[in-house]
Structure 1
Amino acid sequence: MKLRSITTIGACLVAAAVCLSGCQSSGGKKADYPTKPINVIVPFSPGGGSDVLTRSMMEYLELPNDQTFVAVNVDGAAGYIGCQQAFNSANDGYTLLAHNPMDVVSYTLGGTTDVSLYTELELICGIADDFNVLVTNKQSGWTTLDEVLEYVKAHPGEVKVGNTGSMNCNMADCIRVLDALGIREDVTIVPYNGGSDNKVANMGNHVQLSVNTGADIQSAVESGDEIPLLVISDRRSQSLPDTPCTKELGYDVVTTKPRGLYAPKGTSQEQIDIISEAVKNVCENEEFQQRILDLGLEVNYVPGDELQTKIDGWVEDIKPVFEEMKKQQ
C-alpha cells in the first residue's frame, strides 16, 4: 500500500513537470522572430517625410522579444538606390524598406529599371496616405476651381502648372487631372526636382498652379501662401477637409500616395504577419494618428495584399500616360 502511494505521488510529480515544461515552451519561450533588431531602409535623407514617418512609428512599435526597428537612410536617385538595395537584400526578415508604393511603380514604368519592383518586392502593409493636390497661390486671386477653369479657358497658354518630377506617377497624376478638367492643352507643365522647389515656384508665382503633395504644401496652406483647389483621391484629405476630391466631382483620377513597408521577395509569411500586426497596433494609437496628421499625412493601415490589388489597378490606369510621356522624350 505504501509502495503504491509513493508510485502514485511520483507519477503525479512527473506529470506536473511535463505540464510545466509544456507551459514554458508555449507561453514562456521566446519567439523565434525577431531575435535581433530589424533594419528598415529609408531611401531618402534624414528629416524627409518617409524618414519622419518611419521614426515616429518606431517610437510606438512593440515587437516580440523587445526587439526594435533601426532606420537606415540610403539616399539617392529619388529613392531608387535604397529601393534597389532592399530588393537585393536577404529575405531573412531583418531588412525591410519604408517607401512610397507609387514611387516604386515609377521606377519601373518610367524606365529606371526593367525589374517590376512594385510586384517583385513583398508589400507588407500600408501605413499612411498622402495625396497629390492641385493648388494655386495668393497672387493669382483664385480661390475656387471654377475660377481657375474660367480664367484658363479665357487665356490659353498663359498659365503654368508646376509638378514634382517628370517621368513619374506625380506627372501622370498631373496630366490625368488636367485632361479631366479639360485644360491640358491650355497650360504649360513645368517639372521641378522636388516638392519643396515646386512649392517655392508656386509661392513666387513662377507658376500659377501646382500639383504637389499634401505634406509638401501643408505649411504654405496654413500660412495662406497656397490655396488648395482639388485633392486627387477617392476621398477628402483629413488635412484639407474643405477641399473637394476628384471622385466627388466626378473625375476618374483617384490615385492616392500611400506610404508602406516592403520586404524582399521570399520573406516568410510568418515574419510578414508579425511585422504587419505590430504596425497595425501602432496605427490604432490615437496619439500616433494625430502626430502623423500634423505632418500632413493621414494614418491608413491596409494589409499588403489589399493594397497591392489597389496599386495594380492604378498601374493599369496610368500605363498609357507613361507610354505617352516616353514618346515625347
Structure 2
Amino acid sequence: MHRLLAAVAWAAALALASTSASAQSYPTRPITLVVPFSAGGPTDTLARILADRLGRTLGQTVVVDNTTGAAGSVGVGRVARAAPDGYTLGIGHWSTHVVNGAVYKLPYDLLNDFEPVALVASNPQLLVGKKAVAAKNLKELVAWVKDNPDKVTVGTAGVGAASHVSGVYFEQKIGGKVQFVPYRGAAPAMQDLIAGQIDIMFDQAANSIPQVRADKIKAYAVTARKRLAAAPEIPTVDEAGLPGLYISVWHGLWLPKGVSRDIVARLNAAVVEAVSDPVVREKFAALGQEIPPPAQLTPEALHAYHKAEIDLWWPLIKTAGIKVE
C-alpha cells in the first residue's frame, strides 16, 4: 500500500512539474484567435489590432480565424470545444456572450464552459435620428415617441441584435412603444436612416460618429455614464434626460474551460500590456472604444462583469419575447 501511495504521489509530482514547465515555455507555436464574425467588422478590427500586439509580446504569431454563423454562436462554440492548451483563444462581445444565451439554445454554457482572460474594450451605443426628426434633444425625442405609440420606426441590425435589444430597453425606460424595422446588419439600417426611411436607431458609436460628423444624421445621446473621448460634444443619457439607459457592446477574450491558471495569467498579462500600448490605445479610441481601467482587466473582473450583464439582460430579453426564428 505504501509503495502504491508513493507511486501515485510521484506521478502527481511529475504531472505538476510537467504542467509548470509547459506553462513557463508557453507559447511554443502560433495561437489561433477565433473571431465569430466576418472580416472587416468591428470585432474583427479589434481582434487584428490585438493579435498583432499580443504576438510581439508572446513571441509567437497570433492568427486571426473568422469562424462565422448563427450570430457568432458558431465561432464561440468552436472555442468551447477546443483543446484546453492555450492555443485557441476567442474574442466575443455583449451579443455573443450575453444576448445569444437568451435567444438561442446553445450547446455550451456561456459562464461555465470558458476561462475568462480579460475585458478589452467597450463601445457605447449612440441614439441617433434622421435629420428630419423635429426633436432637438433627447427629452423632446422621448415626448415624441410617447405621443406616437407604435408609429416611430426604429431600425435594427436584426432580431436580437444590440440595436434591437437597446430599442427594447428604451421602450421599457420611457414607457412607450415603437415599431422595429429589422435589417440584415447595421450598415443597411444606417443607409435607410440617412435616407430618411426610418426615424431613429441605436448604433455602435464607431459606426455612427462619422455620419454625425458629416451632418447626415442627428445624435441625441451616448448610452454611457461619461462622454466619449472620440465625440465629447455628444451628451450622455444622464445629461440628456434619460438617466440609467446604459448600453455597451463590450468585448472580452476567453479560453476553453480547463486551461491552466499559469497560461491564463500569461495571456492576461499580454493583454494588459497590449491595451497599455499608446499605439493600441490610439487605434481603439479612433474606433470609439473605451479601454477599462486596470482593476477591470483581470480574469476575475471579466467573469463578474459577464455574470452581472447576464443577470441584467436575460430577464429583459425573455420578458420582451425576443426570439430567433
Instruction: State the TM-score, normalized to the length of structure 1.
Output: 0.82
The question of whether the paired residues in 2 share the 8 Å contact of 1:164 and 1:191 is answered with yes
* Corresponding residue for residue 222 of structure 1: 213
* Corresponding residue for residue 75 of structure 1: 68
Question: Does 1:322 find its partner at 2:317?
Answer: yes
* Corresponding residue for residue 190 of structure 1: 181
Alpha-carbon distance, 1:168 to partner: 4.6
Farther-moved stretch of structure 1 (233-242 vs 247-256): 247-256
The question of whether the paired residues in 2 share the 8 Å contact of 1:33 and 1:64 is answered with no
Alpha-carbon distance, 1:83 to partner: 1.0
AA at the equivalent of 2:308: G
Cα displacement string for residues 81-117 of structure 1 (whole angstroms, at most 9, x for unaligned residues):
1111111100100000011144222221112415322
Alpha-carbon distance, 1:195 to partner: 1.4
Alpha-carbon distance, 1:242 to partner: 2.5
Aligned length: 299
Alpha-carbon distance, 1:261 to partner: 0.9
Secondary structure class of the residue paired with 2:196: coil
The question of whether the paired residues in 2 share the 8 Å contact of 1:107 and 1:168 is answered with no
The question of whether the paired residues in 2 share the 8 Å contact of 1:232 and 1:246 is answered with yes
AA at the equivalent of 2:203: N
The question of whether the paired residues in 1 share the 8 Å contact of 2:135 and 2:144 is answered with no
* Corresponding residue for residue 276 of structure 1: 268
The question of whether the paired residues in 2 share the 8 Å contact of 1:108 and 1:114 is answered with no
AA at the equivalent of 2:299: G
Alpha-carbon distance, 1:157 to partner: 3.6
Aligned to 2:288, which of 287, 296, 321?
A: 296
Farther-moved stretch of structure 1 (243-252 vs 123-132): 243-252
Report 1:39-188 matches (<5 A).
Answer: 39-61=32-54, 66-113=59-106, 115-183=108-176, 185=177, 187-188=178-179
AA at the equivalent of 1:115: Y
| CA distance in structure 1 between the aligned counterparts of 2:322 and 2:263, rounded to whole angstroms | 43
Instruction: State the TM-score, normalized to the length of structure 2.
Output: 0.83
The question of whether the paired residues in 2 share the 8 Å contact of 1:121 and 1:265 is answered with yes
Alpha-carbon distance, 1:37 to partner: 1.1
Question: Does 1:202 find its partner at 2:193?
Answer: yes
* Corresponding residue for residue 254 of structure 1: 246
| CA distance in structure 2 between the aligned counterparts of 1:196 and 1:91, rounded to whole angstroms | 36
Q: Quick one: structure 1 residues 38 and 206, their matched pair in 2 at CA, closer, same or farther if it must change by over 3 Å? A: same
Alpha-carbon distance, 1:128 to partner: 1.2
Secondary structure class of the residue paired with 1:54: helix
Alpha-carbon distance, 1:63 to partner: 5.5
Alpha-carbon distance, 1:288 to partner: 1.4
AA at the equivalent of 1:308: H
Secondary structure class of the residue paired with 1:242: coil
| CA distance in structure 2 between the aligned counterparts of 1:112 and 1:32, rounded to whole angstroms | 38
| CA distance in structure 1 between the aligned counterparts of 2:288 and 2:322, rounded to whole angstroms | 35
Percentage identity across paired residues of the two chains: 24
Alpha-carbon distance, 1:178 to partner: 2.5
The question of whether the paired residues in 1 share the 8 Å contact of 2:160 and 2:322 is answered with no
The question of whether the paired residues in 2 share the 8 Å contact of 1:128 and 1:300 is answered with yes
RMSD, aligned α-carbons = 2.5
Aligned to 1:241, which of 217, 232, 237?
A: 232
Q: Quick one: structure 1 residues 64 and 200, their matched pair in 2 at CA, closer, same or farther if it must change by over 3 Å? A: closer
Farther-moved stretch of structure 1 (162-171 vs 307-316): 162-171
Farther-moved stretch of structure 1 (163-172 vs 273-282): 163-172
The question of whether the paired residues in 1 share the 8 Å contact of 2:119 and 2:292 is answered with yes
Secondary structure class of the residue paired with 2:272: helix
* Corresponding residue for residue 301 of structure 2: 306
Q: Quick one: structure 1 residues 161 and 291, their matched pair in 2 at CA, closer, same or farther if it must change by over 3 Å? A: same
| CA distance in structure 1 between the aligned counterparts of 2:109 and 2:280, rounded to whole angstroms | 33
Secondary structure class of the residue paired with 2:180: strand
Secondary structure class of the residue paired with 2:237: coil
Q: Which has the larger radius of gyration?
A: 1
The unaligned stretches of length 5 or more in structure 2 are 1-22
Alpha-carbon distance, 1:134 to partner: 1.2
Q: Quick one: structure 1 residues 96 and 321, their matched pair in 2 at CA, closer, same or farther if it must change by over 3 Å? A: same
| CA distance in structure 2 between the aligned counterparts of 1:118 and 1:226, rounded to whole angstroms | 38
